[in-house]
Amino acid sequence: MADTRTIERAKEHFGKILEQQLQRVERLKINVPWTDYQKVKPITIGVLGGDGIGPFITNEAQRILQHLLKKEVDTGKVVFRAIEGLTIENRAAKLKAIPDDVLAEIKKCHVTLKGPTHTPEKGDGWPNIESANVAMRKELDLFANVRPVRIPKQGIDWTFYRENTEDIYAVGSQGIDVTEDLAIDFKVITTQGSERIIEAAFDHAKRTGKNYVAIITKANIVKTTDGKFLDVAKKVGERYPGIRWEGWYIDIMTAMLVNEARRKDFQVFALPNLYGDILTDEAAQIQGGVGTAGSANIGKQYAMFEAIHGSAPRMVKEGRAQYADPSSVVRAGAMMLQHIGYTQLGKRLEMALDVCGQYEKKLVMTGRSTGVTGKEFGEYLMATVADSRLEARWEQYVKA
Ligand code: IPM
Ligand code: MG
């Protein structure tokens, strides 16, 4: 049996978490306006290389974006800003998920494009610092992780609205070993946090002419927190009369995504953080692998766009980093273009990624010298975006 001191210590720890989270709820109640990119001048785009192959692929993505936004850069409407120091070495030296000076630089930018960053895991030699992704999402309050997955040929057009700041991630590095045998983590769901992500999903559906939103939980088992998420969905759903919604449990939804007869019916998903983490990897794999998907982390004030694969340190060690495929971070860049108001340009870049990477494949990347380099693939993408027949080329493949 644990003595009362052990229990008191755990209660005190829990008490601190409650205090933090209640303060957070108060902050969430403050109404922050959305950044209006029509009015911002210049729009500052920060570029964070990250670890491993990150600097190679983000450099390529930046080169492509600078090329596509040449006029805007020349007229001072858009500014690119390289931000150094979001590397595992620097983060470990400062013992910080994001070193203070790096965070200050990030906050000078409206949006950032980020390469993969190494996340330390128990026993891998690096100090146990929090994931840079998770820290950035929390620091900049990037509450919506938007992950589209499209396979036009199969009629699949999914957009996931993954809550990005709460759930098991909110205090993921503050769980407690109560005794040697008892470990407890905490799952945090708030009314405000649920409302804003569910609303974002319904707004997206409305904006893009979709009429169905799936709300994913495990509310039959995780009754209190997932129950709240579902309750909030009921209230939000009432405000969107033209849009149908249904609650689905995460387990059956993972099965539905591989059910070829049913999966086309799903359009927009809203889900708590961890279920979203898992389901979006599954969905990306169905599209062709996690390297083919882009990911947007959207908040009202800031937004960050990232590759969703890892940093592949082995490619760098073996001297193959120039062969790393920049597609995922370029796709994130295409989402960024749309987010800051260059909608058509962003869509063209997405089409070029589909044509070059999935259909036409005139140049193929293999991750080694048997294929082309990231830079050569980047040239192929830029030439494809510039082609006046791009749309027809894309449709020809999709409808084939
Ligand atoms: C993702 C990743 C991150 C997450 C990791 C790297 C912390 O898996 O963006 O989905 O768990 O959110
Ligand atoms: Mg993930």
Q: 139-187, pLDDT tens digit by residue? A: 999 999 999 998 888 999 999 999 999 999 999 889 999 999 999 999 9
Task: Tell me how far apart the alpha carbons of residues 32 and 105 are, in angstroms, rounded to a whole number.
Answer: 21
Strand partners, 47: 82, 113
The confidence score (pLDDT) of residue 35 equals: 94
Rounded distance from Cα 390 to ligand 1 centre (Å): 33
Q: Ligand 1, closest atom to CA 277? A: 10
Task: Tell me how far apart the alpha carbons of residues 166 and 370 are, in angstroms, rounded to a whole number.
Answer: 43
Rounded distance from Cα 103 to ligand 1 centre (Å): 19
The confidence score (pLDDT) of residue 309 equals: 86
Which pairing describes strands 294-298 and 156-163: parallel, antiparallel, or unpaired?
A: unpaired
pLDDT at 75 over 70: yes
Distances (CA, A) of 278 to 93, 215, 232, 281, 388: 31, 15, 22, 5, 38
Strand partners, 303: 111, 298
**Selection from 216-220, 308-312, 360-364 with the highest mean pLDDT:** 216-220
| CB neighbour class for 327 (10 Å; exposed up to 12, middle 13-18, buried from 19) | buried
Q: How confident is the model at residue 92 (pLDDT cuts 50, 70, 90)?
A: very high
Q: Ligand 1, closest atom to CA 295? A: 9
- Closest-approaching ligand to the CA atom of 129: 1
Q: 186-209, pLDDT tens digit by residue? A: 999 999 999 999 999 999 999 999
Strand partners, 146: 161, 296
Task: Tell me how far apart the alpha carbons of residues 42 and 39 are, in angstroms, rounded to a whole number.
Answer: 9
Ligand 1 atom 9 nearest Cα? 308
Mean pLDDT of 252-271: 98
Q: How confident is the model at residue 398 (pLDDT cuts 50, 70, 90)?
A: confident
Cis peptide before 152, with omega less than 30 degrees from 0? Answer: no
How many Cα neighbours within 13 Å face the side chain of 347? 7
Task: Tell me how far apart the alpha carbons of residues 48 and 86 are, in angstroms, rounded to a whole number.
Answer: 7
Give Rg (Cα) of the chain: 22
Amino acid at residue number 193: G
Task: Tell me how far apart the alpha carbons of residues 303 and 107 are, in angstroms, rounded to a whole number.
Answer: 10
The confidence score (pLDDT) of residue 2 equals: 67
The confidence score (pLDDT) of residue 399 equals: 79
The confidence score (pLDDT) of residue 279 equals: 97
Strand partners, 112: 46, 304
The confidence score (pLDDT) of residue 1 equals: 59
Mean pLDDT of 111-118: 96
Q: What SS3 state is found at 367?
A: coil
pTM of the full structure: 0.93
The confidence score (pLDDT) of residue 26 equals: 97
Quick check: 272 and 226 in contact, CB under 8 A?
yes
Rounded distance from Cα 194 to ligand 1 centre (Å): 19
Q: Please indicate whether residue 282, judged by its CB atom, sits closer than 6 Å to ligand 1.
A: no
Task: Tell me how far apart the alpha carbons of residues 65 and 59 are, in angstroms, rounded to a whole number.
Answer: 10
The confidence score (pLDDT) of residue 128 equals: 84
Share of the chain above pLDDT 90, in %: 88
Which pairing describes strands 111-114 and 303-307: parallel, antiparallel, or unpaired?
A: parallel
Which pairing describes strands 294-298 and 78-83: parallel, antiparallel, or unpaired?
A: unpaired
Tokens of 382: 């830029």
Q: How confident is the model at residue 121 (pLDDT cuts 50, 70, 90)?
A: confident
Rounded distance from Cα 223 to ligand 2 centre (Å): 24
Q: Please indicate whether residue 308, judged by its CB atom, sits closer than 6 Å to ligand 1.
A: yes
Q: What SS3 state is found at 158?
A: strand
Tokens of 60: 């390529």
pLDDT at 122 over 80: no
Length of the chain measured in residues: 400
- How high is the mean pLDDT of the chain? 95
**Residue entry with tokens 């610092």:** 129
The preferred substitution site among 130, 162, 167, 277 for testing ligand 1, maximizing ligand atoms within 8 Å of CB, is 277
Buried b (16+ CB within 10 A) or exposed e, 25-37: eeebeeeeeebee
Q: 304-358, pLDDT tens digit by residue? A: 999 878 899 999 999 999 999 999 999 999 999 999 999 999 999 999 999 999 8
**Residue entry with tokens 């001297």:** 319
Distances (CA, A) of 243 to 96, 146, 233, 322: 43, 19, 12, 46
Q: Ligand 1, closest atom to CA 137? A: 12
Which residues have C-beta under 5 Å from ligand 2, the single-atom ion? Answer: 277
The confidence score (pLDDT) of residue 244 equals: 98
Domains of the chain and any CATH numbers = 32-142+299-400 (3.40.718.10), 146-164+172-288 (3.40.718.10)
